[in-house]
Every structure is written in structure tokens, then in C-alpha cells.
Structure 1
């Protein structure tokens, strides 16, 4: 059925595909091919558009410089469908309810309830059915609340675009580029001269539309730049690169062997714009190449939403433990049936008793305990501003031993900050900062992120006062060819200063001198080498370097040009960085202390990532680059991911392969990211973590969403996850070992006693009372040492635990049998009610007492006390267990009052049981440890 569903999805997607691109195949499994975010066909089409000039692109799209006519745009919209990316659709309520219900224990309990109903054991039917309904509904309600909370986080950044439409039927001719009005995108001569603009919903855009973009706009589709002015685009959501990149209309250079070029090179194309990125500064006109699922972003989103999640560590663990217990029951129950049928010669009674044993062996409260424990963890995390979309993620939080994280926006603040201001020799210099401030303050062009970082620098109080002593004379604007800009300012009209800042290479071309201290020295080749050495050192620290130069000019002039950018004196550099979040270093240290290794997976450069890693306290060693990941097969990658902490220059699905490799190595892996390029890895991880400011597709793929920027909530989540897991493990250990002991006791009693040691109804009531006492386990305290290291499901350990502790209770059950047989003479079928009453009380009390014995590796009640809800519930259940045979309900349950002489023996048995269990627990801990 799953294969048919996938084929049907593929058919629907193929029906929707079309336009500039042919439908492309998206790989669905890990491996070298899946390291590309999109298919080779999509990559080739994008590169073809990037290498073609604007005229060829428009001709290929059958469009013009004024865009498409209304009729043509409407026809394409009808043919290709709306510009919408496939999102992960929420499950209908009935399917969500089914997902909450289906697990091995619920299915087994349902079978037992049906059998109980068919055998007219209505009490057992009600008890078992109630457990199934409660556990399912509790999970359904809690996950529904979380999903609705996550849905409220979805917010559209932009919903309309400016589109060019021809004013006349005849499109204008395409010609050479000329500037237009200041602050607008320059139009080629006649570019859109006959066009008018319209505001359209983003979903109505089609391939061939020409759109106008300006600062702050989201890129609504994959586009090819036709004309641009000072266009800077942030691609951090797509590539992880923190700094904005320049975009120009010129075709990219064709290179040999381009047919095999990787997806990373497509993202580097200087004239392509990608859906999901945004314009930081400048303006442009661009033609739409592809929309919806046919975009680069759409390829990633389709892969994420169409691929079913692999079972997480939690799901695999619960299933393995479930099947261990089910296999155990499948062996023990037939033995009970045969032995009782043969020895008692009443096969119907033996069948009902075996059925009760099956119910007793099954930890029927496990689904409810698991769900209520996870729900309590979700509520606790919600108080720390964490939305838990999938309850299972809480336990995965605790089991996580590797956290992979993106850099930009997760470890860093996703903003550019001025990190250094130095002279030419690399020494701190306030004078360089002041000149850089004057340049950024007085320029009237579009201020990019670097200018804003200079203007917002914390040390600029003096510079701001100094700027008031200057007035602007003229400006030489930035352009992409020069990669620098200059302002000319006058200080109290005494003299003029031309201050130039820009890329180091371009600044050096204009300089003849350099300033070292108070001396201006000729810029000889030896000194140029010194300059390059200093700036390379800054670059090696992950800093982006901008050079600052100046010269004094005669005060009589009022107009300056590019020709005046000559004979300059290099005075120093300003260096920028995307700074780490204040909480990042402390959070990583806390995670390390709790046994969680942190690995950084980023699309940014190695140098920048290495600097951030140093700042947050990560010792990264050698980095593994995306090109290296591309060349490795899965087996080799599994070895490499263990050796490396930093992975840089990654394409989106390189991250997914790394996560798959870590999981294949047995790690419970978390991934934290907020960009488009993180979506596939978020879905592949055992636990996907995102933030409320993340792109939609990342929030959809995540299991947990952080509503505050502090990363310290990660440590709190890990601790909460471990507390949750520890409490779940308590219930499974207690129930499994106790039930094993009971069944072992039943087998002994069935072989030597001429009547049933306990009636089926009594066995069910005892089991129900014991389970009621466990309801408070989610609220129990957890020892500190159990929160220090990752916890995970270990079926082998559970089996060993059952076999070790189960016979202890059986030993005291046998002593109780002997007490009732030899001391109180309940040794005939006529006195079986007294025998059954005596074992009912001791069995229930030892089962309840063992809760405190094995909930902790410490000495119970002395070194470790249970939470007050658990203390109260166990005390109440023990009181009820004594009351039932002694009170007015005894006959209803076929019990009878016990003689007064029974109770001193009972106290001795309970004390001996507690002491022996505590002593043997120390032996177990010393030999096997205690998870």
C-alpha cells in the first residue's frame, strides 16, 4: 500500500509539473546521489539560465522585457498551477487518532478485551478497554494541542509581488542597459518602458513574469536577474552563508566540465535568485524561471514532505521492548494453560486463568504511563517556551547523544557585527574606526549590513560627536566593478578629506602609501606583502575584511569622480563577523557535561565556521567539506562523521546524509536548524529542533520549536527528556520483573496445589490496583546521577532485570504459599478462599513495595525518596489491598477475612523482601550498572 501511495503522489506531482523546467526526479534515500538538493535536470536548467544572456532567457520563456500579457499569464497559471510549495499536510483527526492508538500493547490489549467480552468476563473487558481508551485519548489530545500551537507560529512574510505587464499588446525590444531613477532598478534601454506595474498575490506568479524587487522583499520564485542596482541578497536560509551576496545581471562564465557541476555551484551563480531568500539592499528586475514545487526550494520541500519519517530511537525502543514482553507472554501463558488444565482437569477455568495471566503479564498501563509521562514533559517544556509537536521527541531529547546544529541563526545571532578595527599592521585603531564611521554615516546610497554594523558599533559615541564637525561635500557611489565607495567631507571648512572603503584588492589599486603610526610610508611590494599577511590572518579567523583609505584634497572643489580615487593612503581595516549567541557557549558546555556531543553542519565557509566554533568553545580539529561528503560512499561517511566535529560548505542534503550516517552508527541524533537548507536533516534526525523565526518548511519538519533565543533551553530539554525516560523505565522494570515473578509463582503453585492459587477475577483486580499505584510515576523524583548521561531503550538489559529480580518475589510467594498451607491449614479446595486471600494481600503489597525498592539504585526512603504523589498512591493501594478481604466487599471478589495472626507474618515477609531486594540490587548495580 505504501508503494501505491508513493506512486500516486508521484503521478500527481508529474501532472502539476511543467514550464521552463521539465519535471525532475528527487532521490528519496541516503547515498551519494542524495547529497544534491535537486536533480541533475534542474541543476542543468538553472545553470543554462545563468550562462545565457537576458535576451536568450526571455526568448526561451517566450516573454518580453515588459513581462507577460494578462491572457498569457492566466493561461500559464491554469496550465502550471499556483506558485505554492507542497507543505506537510496535517493528518485528519481520525488518522491522527489511529496513529495514537496503534502500538503493540494497545493492539494486544484490544485482543484480550475482545476475548474477555466473548467469554462474558465483562469486568475484565471494562478494565482493559478503559486503559486502551485513556492512553489513546490522552496522547491524541496532547499532540493536538501542540500541533495547534505550532500552527499558530506559521506566518506569511510576504503575500504580494510587483509584476510588470505590457501597456500594449506589442512588447518592447530588448536593448542595452542604462541607469534609471536613483533608488530604482536600472532598466535596459526600453526595458519596461511601455510596461505598467501590478501587485499580484505570490501564488499567481508564473514562469515568464517579470517582477520588480527592492530591499526587504522575499524572493517569491526562482528568478534570473535582468537588471539590478546595488542588489544584495541574503541566502542564509538556503546556503547558511551569513553575509549577503551580490547579484548582477551579467551571464556567469562557462567553465569546462560544467555538466557535472554540483548544486552548490548553482547557489553561487551571481545572477540567479532563489525562492525563500530575501533582498537586503538595492533593487532589481528579474524574470521568473520556475514556480512552486519546480523551484530549488520546492525540490527540497517536496523531498521532505513526500518521504515518510524513519522510526525514531524512541519508536524503535518501545517496539523492541514491547515485542520482548509479548514473546515472553507467548511462552509463559501456554505453559500456565497446559499445567492447570492437566492438573485441575477444568480446561475452561484453566483458559480463563491463563487469560488473566496474559493480562497480568502485559504492562497494560505502559501506553498510558508513557503518554502521560510525555505529556507532563511537554507541559513542563511549554513553561520554558518550547512547543513540542511530537510527544515522542521528549524521550529522544533525553536519549540524544549527538546534536548536530546549523551555524547561522542557531549558534550565531544572524546579524553582522563590527568585530575589529585595526591599523595596517593589525593593531587596534580608533582612528580607522572614525574614518569608517564618517564614510558610512555620510553616504546616501543604500546602506548594506556592513554599513549598519559600523553605525551601530558600541564604541562610537566619540565618532558620532566628531561627525557633527563635518559636512558632506560629495559622494562617489558603490558599483560592482570598483567594489568600493567614497565620500568627501569637510572638517569645519578647513580642508576636504576623501574617505574610501571597500574590498582590499580594489583599495590597494588606488593606494600609493600606507600609514604606520604617524608616518605615511610608500606602498612598496614588501609592504604590500605585509598588508596581505595581516589581512589573511584576519580572514583565517573567519572575519570579513574591508579596507579603509583616505587622502586630503583641496577645499575649493565641490564635485568628485572615480578618477579622484587615486593616490590614496591605506590607513587600516574594519573586520566583521556574525557573532555567536550569548547563550551558545554555556549551552554547548552544559550539553557536553550531560554527555551530548555537538557537531556543526553549515553551508558557510570553513574559516567563518571555525571562528564561530572557537568562540563557543568547540574544538573542531579538521573540517569535512561538502565536496568531501559528495565523494564518500555511505560506509566511508559513517567512519568520517565520527572523526569530525565541523562540516562546512554543505549543500542541503549533505546534512541529511550526515544525520543518516550518525544514526546508522547507533547514535540518537538531534538536529537544530532554521533554514530551507536544514529541512531534510530536521526530518531525518531522531529529534528535529527549530526556532519560531525559522522558515515554514523548517518549522514543519521539526519535532520541537524553541520560542526564545536562549540555547540554554536545550539543556533543560535534555534533562526533562531524561527525567521522562527514567520514569517510563521505572514502570517497565517494576511491572516486568513483578509480573515475571508472579507467573513463576503461578507455575509453581499450579504444579503442586490442587486448586487455583488465585481466581482470574482476583488476579485482574490485583493487577488493576497495582497499575493504579503507577499512575503517579510521571510525577516521581529522579536521582541526579540518572540525568547525567544519555538514556536509551535496552531490551537485553530489561530481560536480564526481569530474570534477576522476578524470582525474588517468587521466593516470598512460595513462603506465603507455605504459610497459608502449613500454618493456617488452607490445604484443601474447601479452604482455597483463605489461601487465595492470603496470597492476594502479600502479592499486592510486595508488588507495590517493589516500586520503591527498584525505582532507584540508592537505598529507598533513606538516600532517595519517591515524589509525594507516588508515596500517596502506593500507600492508598496497599490500604485498599488489605481492606478488600477484610471489608464488606470480600464476598464480591470471592475473598474472606484473614485471621489476626496472619498480619505479623505478613510484616516479616515484607521486611525480609525489602531487605533482600535492596542487598541484591547492590549486587546487580555493581555487576551490570543501572541505566
Structure 2
């Protein structure tokens, strides 16, 4: 994320001072003309300048006429407007980042006198502005140059030999929710990195206030010298990246993805659009510029950053519940197919009719409608989870055959105990397996929804418990009720229901035992 998303994004103009740090209305007037006459997108700094001036300064702008402008770009980090003064001279007024402004300034104005900008004075200027930066103030330098002869057009080439007249400083305090949000994200295994165009001093001040490690900062100028391989290592080591251009931000996001991370980027400015688009999850806010919102996958409507934590938790809960359904469906279907193949090889009739399979699947799917509302164990929410297709396949091969074992036990029960071993008694056999198959399918979600002991250490949400009970009752009612003949089922003997709880209880115990072994060897997701 960028520092602007960590702060209140309501910037206040705090000071307008000359090169010696004294209050200067002349500096404010020139900064106002620059912000007022520029036709590009006015950022929050420009808005703060326009809101800070009084009516007298607003009236004075009528004494100037705009001639031209040189728009802002992220390489120069400055912008200029050209106005005609009362003396009929063309004045270029430039404001921008201090370091970049010093590169094009040749003079400074001290007490109304223009003097050369010496190395000694540059050092003093950097010390003064860095002191403001360390106090959390953003510093923008203001300079001008007057042309004796009017030109038809002005360009970047004309931004030289400028006279530095002073600075405007801005206060942008952190959001009240920023510190808590950062701590919550870190507690849930999310690494927070700051990618910003601000200088390192302002960035460190903001990071210090919100509880981020601010000791090491990687600057955009250094990033330009790094190869992709070097940057791939650097993005793991550093958590604060300052003085970045849009290209730098995009490169960092790309290298984090290349390292196997799932990257979300939160930004709201033009310079964030490329990084937002490059991230796995691009996030912006409803007050962002249009291009940032168009590039984003998600747009936050709330001002509080705590919504990020809620989104992470809800995403992990949704993912965990999705995995429950996939694993349950894969393993139970594998077990059913396995059981049908075994039964078809040894039983002289169909172990289950197609209509029985369709009804089973219908009831089973209905019982799983409420899985999205199920509870998720805290340990699954506390850490990031990943989609692992090989894990689903392994899970299916381990847990699928367990239901087949108890299907075989049911076959033996119906064949030897209830003598359903001829084509004339196949309906009784099919009814017995129908009930066991449906009930084990319905119960499996409670066994695999948690790494803990189901119903005791981890209980499913009430809707899932109710739906499970309803489907199990329907499964028992169908062969015992008036619809049995229509479904080619028949009533089961009452003694069958003495064996049924034993089979189901043994099935759950064996599944839990295998689950413990599985967790020790492969872990649980």
C-alpha cells in the first residue's frame, strides 16, 4: 500500500516559508498561482493550497494572466505554470519535490535579494527540509524564473536557472484505524509493505506512528540499478520503498508475485494504477482517481482500514468453506463409484438403481447449501491458505475408500443378516444401502470440516446442523413412508435400525482416526 492510504487523505497546508524558514506570503501567492492555473488533475496538495488562501490572495490572481504550463510527470516530480506579471514579463512558477527542484535551481531569494545557490546553501536547505520531513510534514519547494522575451511555448527545457524562494509544508496525519489495521493484518499472517512516492523521511515518520518497522528503506533510485534477480531478493528484505515512480511500484509487485506471494495493492492515485493492475488483488477507494478505480478489482466504500482485515477474514472463511465442499464431494463420489464397482462384480443384481443415485445426490446437494454459512476454526483463519489441487487428489484417495469399507459392511449385513441376496430381494438390499450411503455422505462434511473432533471440539453452524438432521430424517423416511413404492424402495425391518447407529458410529470413529494420521503427515487445510 502507499502512505496516502495510511493517512487521513485530508491534507492541510501547515506553513508557507522562505528559504530561511520564515513565514512568507510571497511564497504562498506563487504556490497558489501554480495550483490555480494548472489544468491537470489537481492532487490533494493543490487542493490544500487552494483552500488555505484568503480572499485577498484570490483577488490578486486577477492581476496575472496564464500563458502556458508544463504538466507534472513522475520523473521530474515537479510542474510549472507560466503567467504574465504586471510588469508584462513572463514568469515561470515551479513547485515540486525538494531534491528535484534543487537540480534546476541556480539561485535563491534571501530577504528580497537574489543570490547564487551554493553547495553550502544546498546542504543547509536539505537539513531544514529534512527536519520538517522527520516531523511528518511533506515539503514542496517553490521557485520561479522570469523571461524578458515572451515565447509562444514553454517546455521542460525552460525549467532551469530557477530562483528558489521557499517551501510550502503539508500535514497529513495517519488514519485513526491505520495502526490497528496494520497490527491486525500482521497478526493474520499478512505482510504489510509500503510503496510510496514520498521521500524516506516522511514515510518513516508515518510508519513509525502506525507501528511498522521503519529502519530500512529502499529508494527508487537504487531500484533502478537493480536487476530483476537482485530486486527479487530485495523485496523480501525491505518493507518500506520510498521515492518510487509508477514503474518502480509495478516492478516491486511483479517481483513479489514471482517469489510466490499473493499480492494485494491498495492505492488511489494515478501513479498507483500500474501497480494496482499488476497485483493479484488491486484495491482502491471510492474517492480515488478514475484510472485507479478502473484498474482495481475491489473498491472500498468505508474510510476505515479495518475493512481490509474483515475482507481477509471473510475471504479465508469463504475459501475454507469452499474447500470443505470440494473435498467432501470428491471423496464421497470416489467412494460411491468404488463401492458400485465392487458390488457389481459380486452381486447378481444392481446394488442401487439410477433413480436412487439421483435422489441421493439431490438430497446430499441440498444438505450442503448452507456450507457457505458454516463456522470456520480460528486456526484456519489465522494464516493464509492456498489452492493446492494435489491436496484435493490426495484427500480423495485417502478418505474416499473409508466410506467404501462401510458400504461393504452394509452389503454383508443386507446379504447375510437380512437375506437380501437374490434378485427377488434386491429392493430390500438397495433400500438398506440407500440409507447408509445417504447418511454417511451427509455426515462426512462434519468429519472433514475441521481438524478437531466434530460436535465436541468444533461444532458446525446451526443451519448446517439443522439441514443435516433434516436430510437424514428424509433419507430414513423415504423407504419407510408412502413414497417408497414410487421410488422402488421398501420398508426396512426394525432390526436394521439397531445396526445402523453402530455402522455410522464406527464410520465416524475410523474417519477421525485416519484424519489424525493424515494431519500428522500432511497437515490440514
1:367-766 equivalent positions in 2, closer than 5 A: 536-540=130-134, 543-544=137-138, 576-766=170-360
Partner of 1:839: 433
Whole-Å Cα distance in 1 between the matches of residues 94 and 269 of structure 2?
A: 32
1:815 aligns with 2:414: no
1:480 Cα offset (Å): 8.4
**How far off its partner does 1:534 sit?**
7.1
**Aligned mate of 2:80, from 271, 295, 304:** 271
Shift of 1:700: 1.5
- Contact 2:68/2:83 (CA < 8 Å) preserved in 1? no
Residue 614 of structure 1 and its aligned partner are, at CA, apart by 1.8
Greater relative CO, 1 or 2 (CA 8 Å, sep 6+): 1
Per the normalisation by structure 1, the TM-score is 0.43
Helix, strand or coil for the counterpart of 2:366?
Answer: helix
> Would the alpha carbon gap of residues 726 and 185 (structure 1) be closer, same or farther in structure 2, given more than 3 Å must change?
closer
Matched, 1:874 2:468: yes
Task: From 399, 402, 409, give the equivalent of 1:805.
Answer: 399
Q: Which residue of 2 aligns with 1:829?
A: 423
Pair 1:923 & 2:517 matched: yes
User: Does structure 2 retain, via aligned residues, the 8 Å contact 1:624–1:646?
Assistant: yes
CA deviations on 1:64-108 (whole Å, 9 max, x unpaired) are xxxxxxxxxxxxxxxxxxxxxxxxxxxxxxxxxxxxxxxxxxxxx
Provide the C-alpha distance between the structure 2 equivalents of 1:648 and 1:854, rounded to a whole number of angstroms: 46
SS in 2 for 1:859: coil
1:751-792 Cα deviation digits (max 9, x unpaired) = 222222111221121111111100011111112221101122
How far has the Cα of 1:620 moved from its partner?
3.9
Q: How many angstroms apart in 1 are the aligned matches of 2:426 and 2:45? A: 77
Unaligned regions of 5+ residues in structure 2, if any? 1-28, 47-51, 53-65, 85-90, 96-104, 114-119, 142-166
Do the aligned partners of 2:265 and 2:276 also contact (CA within 8 Å) in 1? yes
Give 1:812 shift.
0.7
- Structure 1, unmatched stretches of 5+, are 1-181, 187-212, 221-232, 238-242, 253-262, 273-282, 286-478, 484-502, 512-525, 548-572
Q: Does the 8 Å contact 2:293/2:299 carry over to 1?
A: yes
Deviation at 1:635, TM superposition (A): 3.4
- In structure 2, what is the Cα distance between the partners aligned to 1:645 and 1:574? 29
Structure 1 residue 639 displacement after superposition:
2.4
Report the CA distance shift for 1:218/1:906 in structure 2 as closer, same or farther (over 3 A): farther
Measure, in 2, the Cα distance between the counterparts of 1:826 and 1:766: 21
Shift of 1:631: 3.7
Q: CA deviation at 1:666?
A: 1.4
Measure, in 2, the Cα distance between the counterparts of 1:892 and 1:588.
61
Using the TM superposition, give the Cα deviation of residue 879 of structure 1 relative to its aligned residue in structure 2, in angstroms.
Answer: 0.9
In the alignment, is the contact (CA less than 8 A) between 1:820 and 1:826 conserved in 2?
Answer: yes
Give the Å deviation of 1:607: 2.2
Partner of residue 105, structure 1: none
Secondary structure, counterpart of 2:483 in structure 1: coil
Distance change (3 Å), C-alpha of 1:533 and 1:698: closer
Contact 2:30 2:93 in 1 (8 A): no
Aligned to 2:367: 773
The CA distance in 1 between the partners of 2:291 and 2:170, in whole Å, is 30
1:895 maps to 2:489: yes
Which residue of 1 is the match for residue 7 of structure 2? Answer: none
Please state how far the C-alpha of 1:269 moved relative to its aligned partner. Answer: 4.8
Give distance in 2, aligned partners of 1:633 and 1:819. Answer: 69
In the aligned structure 1, how far is the partner of 2:311 from the partner of 2:32? 48
RMSD: 3.7
2:24 pairs with 1:215: no
User: Residues 831-884 of structure 1: CA distance to partner in whole angstroms, max 9, x if unpaired?
Assistant: 221111111100000111111111111221122211111111111111111111
Compared CA separation, residues 216 and 837, structure 1 to 2 (3 A) = farther
Q: 1:748 is paired with a residue of what secondary structure?
A: helix
Maintained 8 Å contact 2:344/2:350? yes
Measure, in 2, the Cα distance between the counterparts of 1:216 and 1:780.
57
Mapped pair 1:794 → 2:392: no
User: For residue 856 of structure 1, what is the aligned residue in structure 2?
Assistant: 450
- Distance in 1, matches of 2:346 and 2:231, equals 61
2:379 corresponds in structure 1 to 785
Match of 1:321 in 2: none
Q: Distance in 1 between matches of 2:212 and 2:451?
A: 34
Note the alpha carbon deviations across 1:180-203, whole angstroms, 9 max, x for none: xx99999xxxxxxxxxxxxxxxxx
Alignment of 1:40-439 (within 5 A): 215=36, 219=40, 234=43, 264-265=74-75, 267-271=76-80
Structure 1 contact 620–644 (Cα < 8 Å) conserved: no
Q: 1:185 to 1:814 in 2, by over 3 A?
A: closer
Distance 1:903 1:648, change over 3 A: same
Q: In the TM superposition, what is the alpha-carbon distance from 1:893 to its structure 2 partner?
A: 1.9
- Counterpart of 1:215 in 2: which secondary structure? helix
The structure-2 alpha-carbon separation of the partners of 1:921 and 1:531, relative to structure 1 and needing over 3 Å to count, comes to same
Within 2, Cα distance between the matches of 1:806 and 1:715?
36
Q: CA deviation at 1:284?
A: 5.4
Contact 1:184 1:284 in 2 (8 A): no
Length-normalised TM-score, structure 2 = 0.73
Residue 919 of structure 1 and its aligned partner are, at CA, apart by 2.5
- Equivalence for 1:198: none
Structure-2 change in CA distance of 1:235 and 1:895 (3 Å): same
TM-fit CA distance, 1:652: 1.5
Q: How far has the Cα of 1:580 moved from its partner? A: 1.6
* Alpha-carbon contact 1:482-1:506 (below 8 Å) kept: no
Q: Distance in 1 between matches of 2:487 and 2:424?
A: 16
Quick one: distance in 1 between partners of 2:168 and 2:69? 32
Say which SS state the counterpart of residue 862 (structure 1) adopts.
coil
CA 1:482–1:849 in structure 2 vs 1: closer, same or farther (change >3 Å)?
A: closer
CA–CA separation in structure 2 for the residues paired with 1:893 and 1:636 = 68
Seen in structure 2, the aligned counterparts of structure 1 residues 236 and 599 have a Cα distance that, compared at 3 Å, is farther
Deviation at residue 575 of structure 1 after TM alignment: 6.8
C-alpha displacement of 1:624: 2.6
Distance 1:529 1:627, change over 3 A: closer
Q: Give the secondary structure class of the aligned counterpart of 2:453.
A: coil
